Amino acid sequence: MEKYIALLRGINISGKNKISMAELKNEFEQLGYENVITCLNSGNVIFSSDIDDKSILTDNIHKMIQNKFNIDIPIFVITAGELKELLANHPDWWGTDNKEIYDNIIFIIPPHTFDEVYNTVGEPKKEFEKVEEYKNNIFWSYSLKNYRKTNWWSKTASTSISNYITIRTANTMKKISELCNK
């Protein structure tokens, strides 16, 4: 049985796409997934399944969210092992304790690619932000005081790519990884 993490894009943000984490947990269990844990209130679900095809898992979760909650959102699924590898291969500048820097991972929802995201958003403004790709995921950090001056901050939410990415903070993903190891 494999352990997975489902990242639901745009859940419980600014009063939109409201889903109770208790209800979400219950619905994952109704799909037959085991050891279901929700993390934070933003659509992060850890679960175990015998299904070894992430596209099938993604489709099952997507249909459940549509049917149960009447919400059509992108879903990204990653194995606990893939997340562990991703976090182990972060750039030196990412995930530090510097409170003036905001560290994120941009997860690109298949079949979309890093090149699509990069070509749509454009070159990062090197004085304010850094990006580095690892296996079709993007480590992205920016200066908190200058975030409005970055190229990627506004464009990740407002361009055509917004529906095929989901973004999580370094702290969120580290916490999820720790929960996966329990």
Among 80, 64, 81, smallest CA distance to 28 is for 64
What's the pLDDT score for residue 160? 82
pLDDT tens for 43-91 read: 899 999 999 999 999 999 999 999 999 999 999 999 999 999 999 999 9
What are the backbone dihedrals phi and psi of residue 131, each rounded to the nearest 5 degrees, phi first?
Answer: -135, 145
In this structure, are residues 140 and 131 in contact, taking their beta carbons and an 8 Å threshold? yes
pLDDT tens for 98-141 read: 889 999 999 999 999 999 999 999 999 999 999 999 999 999 99
In this structure, are residues 140 and 106 in contact, taking their beta carbons and an 8 Å threshold? yes
What's the pLDDT score for residue 120? 92
The answer for 113, left when phi > 0, alpha when psi is -120 to 50, beta otherwise, is: beta
Instruction: Place 156 in a pLDDT band, splitting at 50, 70 and 90.
Output: confident
**Measured between alpha carbons, how far is 142 from 125 in angstroms, rounded to an integer?**
9
Residue 157 has pLDDT above 90, yes or no: no
**Measured between alpha carbons, how far is 84 from 81 in angstroms, rounded to an integer?**
5
What's the pLDDT score for residue 161? 85
What's the pLDDT score for residue 159? 72
Among 171, 173, 7, smallest CA distance to 86 is for 173
Residue type (1 letter), 156: T
pLDDT tens for 5-30 read: 999 988 877 778 889 999 999 999 99
What's the pLDDT score for residue 37? 95
What's the pLDDT score for residue 162? 84
